[in-house]
Amino acid sequence: MTAIDSYSHGVSGEREFGFAQAIKVDHTIYVSGQLSHDDEGNFLYADDFEAQTAQVFANFEKVLAHYGATRNQVVSETQYIVDLPRYNNAMAAANLAYFGDHRPTSSTIGVAHLFFPGQLIETNFVIDTRLPA
């Protein structure tokens, strides 16, 4: 039987919209779109791409910590970015800084809007815990 372990940040929206931040099935962790919010779920840094990106990674680190995983075990990420031509170089720089020499697969999708006014980025991840940490 497959064991399922879900994780939530405990912020507003999770219960109301009926989702978890992550679900681990066997050795794979599927992570919902991470965005720029604080510990209470308040959206942060409207219209500030760099600050939002840093907060996305900070919130993702909480997911990794819950599962005892590391960014070196990320196999895939998908970024949704408002005004992609404007922010593509900043996203590339943020990824290089965050992942270092690790190279997960990545798709970057330009979108017209995200959930919150001023939200410029949301990123989801897939992790394989069998990879070296």
Q: What is the dihedral angle through the alpha carbons of 93, 64, 113, 41, rounded to the nearest 10 degrees?
A: -120
More confident residue, 12 or 85: 85
Contacts of 50 (CB under 8 A, 6+ apart): 90, 94
Long-range contacts of 107-110 (CB under 8 A, 24+ apart): 107/76, 107/77, 107/78, 107/79, 108/78, 108/79, 108/81, 108/84, 109/78, 109/79, 109/80, 109/81, 109/84, 110/81, 110/82, 110/83, 110/84, 110/85
Of 3-12, 16-25, 97-106, give the lowest mean pLDDT range.
Answer: 3-12
Assess whether pLDDT exceeds 70 at residue 74: yes
Q: Backbone phi, then psi, for 129, in 5-degree steps?
A: -75, -5
Q: What is the pTM of this model?
A: 0.94
Residue 2 confidence class, pLDDT cut points 50, 70, 90: low
pLDDT in tens, 11-61: 877 888 888 999 999 999 999 999 999 998 899 999 999 999 999 999 999
Question: How many Cα atoms sit within 13 Å of 35 on the Cβ side?
Answer: 26
Report the percentage of the chain scoring pLDDT > 70: 98
Query: What pLDDT does residue 3 have?
Result: 64
Phi, psi (deg, nearest 5) at residue 40 = -95, -5
Q: What is the pLDDT of residue 49?
A: 98
The confidence score (pLDDT) of residue 14 equals: 80
